[in-house]
Structure 1
Amino acid sequence: MTYQGVLTKMATEFSHPIQYFLIFENDFINMNQLLDKTISIQFVGYQCLNCALDKPIFRQGFCKSCFFEIPQAADWIMRPELSTAHLDQEDRDLDYEKRVQLQPHVVYLANSSNVKVGVTRKSQVPTRWIDQGAHEAIEIVEVPNRYLAGITEVALKAFVADKTNWRTMLKNEIVDENLVEWRDRLRASIPDEAAEYYIASNQETHIDFPVLKYPEKPKSLSLIKTPNYQGVLKGIKGQYLLFEDDTVFNIRSNEGFIVALTVH
């Protein structure tokens, strides 16, 4: 059976373990059902997630011109402290920026390779944690806009990491942490503007991933260098497919690539 379509990040369903779905225009694949099966991935071409043209993907699934023009790829996406919609100030598209920035956001701690701080829209909990491959997470504050979440994250980065080591995460070399204690320790470092939004009574969320075998020395598959790959799927964690030969394929970093996926 062969499926073909444009890669976008896998949809997820919170269960034990997490259920993963690869969604193409005309196909819908439950990836959990492919565990222990041999699959092939063939690079077919590009399709920008914004303009839909066959142009090389630059970043985040967008071609270069779209990446530097559309609001979905503006700097405040990666650096929420740069948000300005709460001041009624436009960056690229004020209507879009108000829709996204002026809604409840969460600053959280997640443990994937180590404890890290992050920001997401409240509507993306726990999806954001699943996508990062976190096996445990907890909210610290819930604020009414993206700017307040951003300045809180910046303040807490002085005391806790804000990056994940993807190799450590995929090898599952992780240590359980008491995130309630971490949350309480960091409370004093929350900026005054966000202090009233501190969450004092929540507990950790625990996440189980569908993995039969973790890679010992993960090596990342590049469809540009290796346009045809075949392997036995052994697990899914974060947005990565994990194969028996220690090859790992990051769906998220290959958004906008057209692929043919064959199940043998």
Structure 2
Amino acid sequence: MLQGNLKKMSADVHDNQVQYYLELNGERVFVNELLGEKVTLQIDGTIHCTNCGKVTKKSFSQGFCFNCFRKLAACDTCIMSPEKCHFHLGTCREPEWAERFCMQSHYVYLSNTSSLKVGITRGDQLPTRWIDQGATQGRALFSVENRRMSGLVETLFKAQVADKTNWRNMLKGIDVVMDLEQEQERLIEQVYEGLDALQSEFGFQSIVDLSDKNETFQFHYPVLEYPTKITSLNAEKTPRIEGTLMGIKGQYWILDTGVINIRKYTGYQAILEF
């Protein structure tokens, strides 16, 4: 039995196989080893803000109290819509934080999460970002100079391809192998005028095409059996979640009783029994 505050699972990849770890109170569990075993996750409703540590009645933006949610740059609307970044206007909530996280190189990528999607992530977050969303394939398209630029480039592609994951299909294991290099060529052909306009405005080096330098990554997840019907488990309504662990994909546990998004309960006090 382990007890502590939940946070998202960490993961690494060996020979395309994804390996998951969950940490509670400093102890690390290799979750892959629990496949086929009965597990119980008891959440008592106590939530600690992941920033200030104070107890909060409600979690905002996956783990923050209201005060931190309101003041932290990590919770600003531009995090979800990076093209709205206002650092250059001098109105960022935390300029020093933005220098470390936003004013750094980012990738614009394609991934296969049961369907084709476009996304962005910081330069040091691949392949973590793909694994967190349950992608079976991922390919970086461009390296750009900062988060705002990644959002501007992503916006061009969003007119042609989705930027959201259909998590239900992802958890059903509806995986079709895609030629992401071919999709990359097709999409760039449709948005090249917009890319040229951005480079004209911000400089040629603001967007670096990775077409000739990159590869498509493949990921295989530890899943014994995918569900045919998705039943989402809500730990706030049913604090005791239990069942046989049938798989892990993205940040979800697939149990024979339903699925639960571990990351959703970041900061929640939990007891894990297995």
Q: How high is the TM-score relative to the length of structure 1?
A: 0.94
| Aligned residue number for residue 216 of structure 2 | 204
The residue identity in structure 1 corresponding to 2:270 is V
| Aligned residue number for residue 102 of structure 1 | 103
Other structure's SS at 2:124 match: helix
Taking the aligned partners of 2:112 and 2:182, their CA distance within structure 1 comes to: 13
1:210-233: per-residue Cα shift (whole Å, max 9, x none)? Answer: 101111111111111101121010
Asked if 1:244 is matched to 2:256, the reply is yes
1:27-77: per-residue Cα shift (whole Å, max 9, x none)? Answer: 111101111111111112211111211212122211222212111111121
| Aligned residue number for residue 52 of structure 2 | 51
Q: How many residues align?
A: 260
Taking the aligned partners of 2:103 and 2:89, their CA distance within structure 1 comes to: 10
The 5 A counterparts of 1:95-134 are: 95-134=96-135
Taking the aligned partners of 1:26 and 1:64, their CA distance within structure 2 comes to: 26
Taking the aligned partners of 1:231 and 1:138, their CA distance within structure 2 comes to: 35
Residue 264 of structure 2, aligned match among 250, 253, 261: 253
Taking the aligned partners of 1:213 and 1:91, their CA distance within structure 2 comes to: 46
The residue identity in structure 2 corresponding to 1:105 is H
Other structure's SS at 2:55 match: coil
Question: Does the 8 A contact of 1:79 with 1:150 survive in 2?
Answer: yes
1:174-193: per-residue Cα shift (whole Å, max 9, x none)? Answer: 22111101111122315222
Other structure's SS at 1:224 match: coil
Taking the aligned partners of 2:81 and 2:13, their CA distance within structure 1 comes to: 27
Other structure's SS at 1:5 match: strand
What is the deviation of 1:88? 6.2
For structure 2, the 5+ residue unaligned runs are none
Q: In terms of mean alpha carbon deviation, does 100-109 or 47-56 score higher?
A: 47-56
Taking the aligned partners of 2:268 and 2:245, their CA distance within structure 1 comes to: 20
The 5 A counterparts of 1:62-77 are: 62-77=64-79
The residue identity in structure 2 corresponding to 1:254 is Y
Question: Does the 8 A contact of 1:241 with 1:249 survive in 2?
Answer: yes
Q: How high is the TM-score relative to the length of structure 2?
A: 0.91
The residue identity in structure 2 corresponding to 1:215 is P
> Among the aligned pairs, what percent are the same residue?
38
The residue identity in structure 2 corresponding to 1:166 is W
Question: Does the 8 A contact of 1:41 with 1:260 survive in 2?
Answer: yes
The residue identity in structure 2 corresponding to 1:200 is S
For structure 1, the 5+ residue unaligned runs are none
Q: Hey, which bits of structure 1, 4+ residues long, moved more than 4 A?
A: none
Taking the aligned partners of 1:65 and 1:215, their CA distance within structure 2 comes to: 39
Taking the aligned partners of 1:26 and 1:147, their CA distance within structure 2 comes to: 35
The residue identity in structure 1 corresponding to 2:107 is V
Taking the aligned partners of 2:35 and 2:216, their CA distance within structure 1 comes to: 28
| Aligned residue number for residue 236 of structure 2 | 224
The residue identity in structure 1 corresponding to 2:131 is I
The residue identity in structure 1 corresponding to 2:264 is S
Taking the aligned partners of 1:28 and 1:228, their CA distance within structure 2 comes to: 21
Other structure's SS at 2:151 match: helix
Other structure's SS at 1:181 match: helix
Other structure's SS at 1:81 match: helix
| Aligned residue number for residue 33 of structure 1 | 33
Question: Does the 8 A contact of 1:43 with 1:257 survive in 2?
Answer: yes
What is the deviation of 1:90? 3.2
RMSD of aligned C-alpha atoms? 1.4
What is the deviation of 1:155? 0.7
Other structure's SS at 1:96 match: helix
Asked if 1:175 is matched to 2:176, the reply is yes
What is the deviation of 1:83? 1.9
| Aligned residue number for residue 137 of structure 1 | 138
